Amino acid sequence: MLNLEAKDARTLVFVIAITLLAPFILNPFPEGSSLAQFNAGYPDLMQRFIIFGILAIGFNILFGLTGYLSFGHAAFLGVGSYSAVWMFKLLSYNIVPGILLSVVMAGLFSVLIGWLCLRRSGIYFSILTLAFAQMSFAIAYSVLSNPKFNLTNGETGLQVYADDPQYLQSDTAPTVPHLFGLEMNATYKLEVAGWLFQLNAGYYFCAIIMIALFYLTIRIFRSPFGLMLRAIKTNQTRLNYTGLNSRPYTLAAFVISGMYAGLAGGLMASMDPLAGAERMQWTASGEIVLMTILGGTGTLIGPALGAGFIKYLENIFSKINDSILHTWFSILPDGLENAIVWVLHFFVGKGWHLTLGMLFMLIVIFLPGGLVEGAERIRKFAKRKKDKRSDDQKLASTAAE
C-alpha cells in the first residue's frame, strides 16, 4: 500500500480509521446522560487533537529520530498563526494562501534559528532554542506591537477587522475562514437514539492534512535520510569521524520539523482567525515535549496519541468543579463528602496541571516508552495468554487420545 511495508501500512490504515471515525468514537455516552461531560466529540476539541497531533509528529522527526531536544518549537507555531491571519487581513478568508504562507515563513524562520542553534548539541542546543523562542515571544508581545508597524497587536492578539483591506474578498464569499466557499465552522449534527454526533468541515480538513503528513513521516522514517538521522542520534561524533558532515542532515530535520509546526499554526488560525503571542511561550514548547514523551519518543503514532491524551485530559479535568464533585459524592456523609471534595479540589479545575503532572510521572517511571510501550505490553500479554490456552488445549486433546 503506497509503497509501505505491511506493518507501516497497517499503522496508516489504523490512523485513517481512527481519525475519520473520531466524531463517533469520542462520543461514547448519550447526550443527556450524566456521563456526557466525558465526551470529546465536539469540533473545537477534535480540531485541537489533530492540530497538536501534527505539531507533535513534526517535533518527533527532530527529537525522536535525530535526538535533538528543542524547547523553542512554539515559536514556529506562532509564526505560522501570525502569517495565516495576515493573509486573512490582506487577501481574503480563503485559508489556502494563509496555510501556504505559514509553512513558508516557518520554514524560513527555522532555517535561521537552526543554522544558529545547531552549532551546539545536547543541553546547549536546547537552551539556545529556548532563548530564541523567548526572544520571539518578547518581540511579538512588545516590539512588533509598536503602533508604527503593528504586526502582532501585542497582548490583544492579531485578528481580522472590518476595515482590513482583504483585496481578494468578494461580496459573495463567506466572512469566516473557508476553503473555496466551504466554511470551516460548518457542522452537520447527526442525532441517533440519544447520541449527538457533530461532523465538522474544519475537523475533516485538518484530518486529511494530518493523514497526508503521517504518511510523509513514515516515508521519512524509512528513507535513507531517516537512517542518517538515526545514525546521528546513535553517535554523531563517530559518524563525523567517518568523514560525513552531519550538520546538513540535522538542519534539514530541524527545518522540516519547523514547517510542520508552522502548518499547525496556520491550521489553528484557520479554525479560529486569531493569533496571540502566548502561542510562542516556553510553556507551549514544553507541552509539545510532553506530548511526544507521553506518546512514545521515536515511534510513528506515539506523538499523535500523546497529543490527544493531553488535550483530552486537559478538557476533562479542567471543567470538573466543586459542584460536580459534590454531586458525585453526595451519597456519603456530609463530613466525609466535604473532606473528599476538599482533597480532589486541588487536582481538578484550575489544578488539572497537578493531575497531568502525576500521570506524566507515572508513565515515565513505569512506561519509559510512553503509551505505545503500554499498548505493546498489553498486546504481548494477550498473546501469551492466547498461546497458553492453545497449549493447554493441545495437552488436553493429547491426554484424551
Predicted confidence (pLDDT) per residue in 353-379, tens digit: 888 888 888 888 888 888 888 888 888
pLDDT at 83 over 70: yes
CATH topology for 6-319? Answer: ABC transporter involved in vitamin B12 uptake, BtuC (1.10.3470)
Look at 37 and 95; give whichever has higher pLDDT.
95
For 186-192, the CB contacts below 8 A with 24+ separation are 187/43, 191/31
Q: Tens of pLDDT along 382-395? A: 888 887 887 777 77
- The confidence score (pLDDT) of residue 38 equals 83
Give whole-number Cα distances, 49 to 23, 268, 399, in Å: 12, 11, 54
- Judge whether 105 and 80 are in contact, CB under 8 Å: yes
- Residue-wise pLDDT for 237-290, tens only, equals 888 888 888 899 999 999 999 999 999 999 999 999 999 888 888 888 888 999
396 pLDDT above the threshold of 80 = no
Q: Are 374 and 294 in contact (CB under 8 A)?
A: no
> Region 63-82: what's the mean pLDDT?
93
Grid cell locating 97: 494562501
Neighbours of 275 (CB within 10 A): 29
Q: What is the pLDDT of residue 355?
A: 86
Of 255, 259, 198, the closest CA to residue 55 belongs to 259
By percentage, how much of the chain surpasses pLDDT 70? 99
pLDDT of residue 400: 67
For the residues 206-234, what does the mean pLDDT come to? 94
- The per-residue pLDDT of the chain, averaged, comes to 89
Distance (Å) of CA 111 to CA 60, 153, 253: 18, 25, 10
State residue 269's pLDDT score: 94
Nearest in space to 214 (alpha carbons), one of 295, 315, 310:
295
Rg (CA), the chain: 24
pLDDT tens string 319-331: 888 888 888 888 8
Confidence of residue 401 (pLDDT cuts 50, 70, 90): low
Q: Helix (H, G, I), strand (E, B), or coil: what is residue 246?
A: coil
Mean pLDDT of all residues in 157-183: 89
Are the C-beta atoms of 95 and 177 separated by less than 8 Å?
Answer: yes
Sequence-distant (6+) residues with CB within 8 A of 270 are 84, 95, 98, 99, 177, 184, 202
pLDDT at 255: 96
Taking residue 342's Cβ as centre, other Cβ atoms within 10 Å add up to: 11
Q: Is 4 exposed, middle or buried (0-12, 13-18, 19+ CB in 10 A)?
A: middle
On the question of pLDDT at 218 being above 60, the answer is: yes
Higher pLDDT, 169 or 87: 87
What pLDDT, on the 0 to 100 scale, is given for residue 322?
84
pLDDT of residue 233: 92
Q: Is the pLDDT of residue 1 over 70?
A: no
Q: For the chain, which residues make up each domain, given as ranges?
A: 6-319
CB 121 within 8 A of CB 249: no
